[in-house]
Amino acid sequence: MKNFNLPDPGEGLTEADVVSWKVQPGDTVTVNQIIIEVETAKSLVELPIPFAGKITELLVAEGDTVDVGAPIISVEVEGSEPAADPTGDAPAAEADEAGESSGPNLVGYGAKAGSTRRRARKGSAPATADPAAGAPGTSEPAAPAAPAAAAPAPAEPLSPQATRALAKPPVRKLAKDLGVDLQSITPTGEGGIVTRADVETASSGASGDGAAAAGAVAPQDTAIADGPAQSRVPIKGVRKATAEAMVSSAFTAPHVSEFVTVDVTAMMEMVERLKGDRSFKDVKVTPLLVVAKAFTLALRRHAQANASWDGAAQEIVYHRDVNLGIAAATPRGLLVPNIKAADRLSLHDLAGALGDLVATARDGKTQPADLGGGTATITNVGVFGVDTGTPILNPGEAVILAFGAVRRTPWVVTAADGSESIEPRWVTQLALSFDHRLVDGELGSILLADVAALLHDPGTAFLWA
């Protein structure tokens, strides 16, 4: 019998939430077969198992938060002896043996020495506790009659999945976000399935018949319009990571924000031309693409702004490449994946990279490696109809550019002979926040002015070649 421990999905993360199991007890698995999907503070990750065998028990349930190194599944491999202890704990010799794979191992997924013993999560019962009192996924304490459970039970304990409530993944996520225990809900759906209405009713403390929740809207709207005066959602996952990063950045780096309003009619005309260009047919051309290219060109021209502050070493780190982050609003929250060496890409390749980055982020498939190592960021607030803002720096970066909505606006146009006229033009606002430890007012102003100049007249780029 072997236990597979939760590996570090990347970037030194310490825990992950179980989103869904891809296997069930009794299934046979092969080497490197995907068995589970977990959510970290940075991304959704599908994990393969490094050995083959028959699944005997799922040690954690969907919705559980699991420490890296804790066992998550037991597998009976060929030639191994079945475990006598149903909790999955094994003598030290067996535990060490369980950390080794019987077949090819994925890089980065090998078990760590000494990490094969199951560790209790915060707020959960010890691994050796009675399964009925501390089964993963159970948020309510055991009934007062629990002392009787201390005596050895003649029957084999049920696995966490044996009595798992039936619900679709979106409903499970909603229950998780609202802090509702699916096991405590009386299902009203066909076949005993817990519905969204059941979860919302349980969250609001209603009777549980689900009738009042018919036609409910999105969870956040329901909480305001139809729910209780207050509702609480656990701070975890992406929201927790984002909050910690923003607080750290806001109270560590002295922020300065500057703004400029610019006529981008030439940029918009360029976008329309590129959309009709045969060489750009396989990529999506948007104003954000041109802004991204302009920002990378300006950062290459002013490399001092493509830097990081290393307080521990008391050094300023200047980066060769512009690893351009794009703030993306996803169902999981705010993510900032970045395009490595974006300044080295052609406009066509940058368009392809942008498309892949956004699609991957929205699908929740961004890998931890794509979220680290950024050197500068763009936040496109214009897609929400917002003109500008004062963005907070992504930790470890010196600059972040906010791109506002592009609007038709009356604009004073000066002709070659000096005469002026008011014409409708495409106009946007740009905001640049920078770390004043690294970027002084002059450098920040020139950087922002250069980005604006490129958007006003893309041909300016030829003057910098």
Give the pairing of strands 338-339 and 376-379.
Answer: unpaired
Q: Find, among 24, 7, 29, 25, the residue nearest to 16 by Cα.
A: 7
Q: How far from the centroid of its chain's Cα atoms is residue 415's Cα?
A: 49
Alpha carbon distances (Å) from 330 to 85, 248, 334, 363: 42, 22, 6, 8
DSSP 279: G
Alpha helices in 179-218 (DSSP H): 196-204
Q: Find, among 115, 114, 118, 109, the residue nearest to 8 by Cα.
A: 109
CA distance 437 to 256: 10
Length of the chain counted residue by residue: 465
Query: At a CB cut-off of 8 Å and minimum separation 6, what does 404 contact?
Result: 381, 382, 386, 387, 388, 389, 428, 429, 430, 431
CB count within 10 Å of CB 432 equals: 26
Are residues 80 and 1 in contact, defined by beta-carbon separation less than 8 angstroms? yes
Active-site residues, by number, are 436
Q: Find, among 329, 357, 360, 121, the residue nearest to 242 by Cα.
A: 329
Alpha carbon distances (Å) from 423 to 265, 271, 420: 11, 20, 10
The neighbouring-strand residues paired with 360 are none
Alpha carbon distances (Å) from 447 to 188, 319, 324, 465: 59, 16, 15, 17
DSSP 366: -
SS3 helix, strand, coil % of the chain, rounded to 5? Answer: 30, 20, 45
Rg for the chain (alpha carbons), in Å?
A: 27
Give the pairing of strands 420-435 and 15-21.
Answer: unpaired
CB count within 10 Å of CB 149 equals: 16
The neighbouring-strand residues paired with 344 are none
